[in-house]
């Protein structure tokens, strides 16, 4: 099983700040990594796939980077609706998720 470790567990920021979330894989997943946003009481929403491609309808302030074992989700200028939990997920082998980063 490929283990994904996200850091930090909690990120405390304010609207307008820049957020940087990290996801590290226990072995290379090449570029097969996605980021999801989950708000309370809602299903996850796909934001970024293949490490750096934005899903349809995702604002340009969300960007992803990385390859191999180290990945980053960056949110420039946080909007109030961006405060949520973010998960990374790999599909290199069978799918696994990180434990999440809560952006508060």
Partner 1 sequence: QVQLRESGPGLLKPSATLSLTCSVSGGSIRSSYWSWIRQPPGKKLEWIAFIYQSGDTTYNPSLRSRVTISIDTSKNQFSLKMNSVTSADTALYYCARIGETAAGTPGYFDSWGKGSLVTVSS
Task: Show the binding pattern over residues 61-100: x = contacts partner 1 (CB under 8 A), - = does not.
Answer: --------------------------x-x-x--xxxxxxx
* Binder of partner 1 out of 30, 45, 54, 102 (CB under 8 A): 45
SS3 7: strand
Examine residue 37 and tell whether it contacts partner 1 (CB under 8 A). Answer: no
Task: Give the tokens for residue 8.
Answer: 């930090």
Residue 8 or residue 15: which is nearer to partner 1 going by CB? 8
């Amino acid at each position: 099983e490929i283990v994904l470790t996200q850091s930090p567990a909690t990120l405390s920021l304010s609207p307008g700040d820049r957020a940087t979330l990290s996801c590290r894989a226990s072995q290379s997943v090449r570029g097969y990594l996605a980021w999801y946003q989950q708000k309370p009481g809602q299903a996850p929403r796909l934001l970024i796939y293949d490490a750096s491609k934005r899903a349809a309808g995702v604002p340009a302030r969300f960007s992803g980077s990385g390859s191999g074992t180290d990945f980053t989700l960056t949110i420039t200028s946080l909007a109030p609706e961006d405060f949520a939990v973010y998960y990374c997920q790999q599909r290199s082998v069978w799918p696994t998720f990180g434990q999440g980063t809560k952006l508060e």
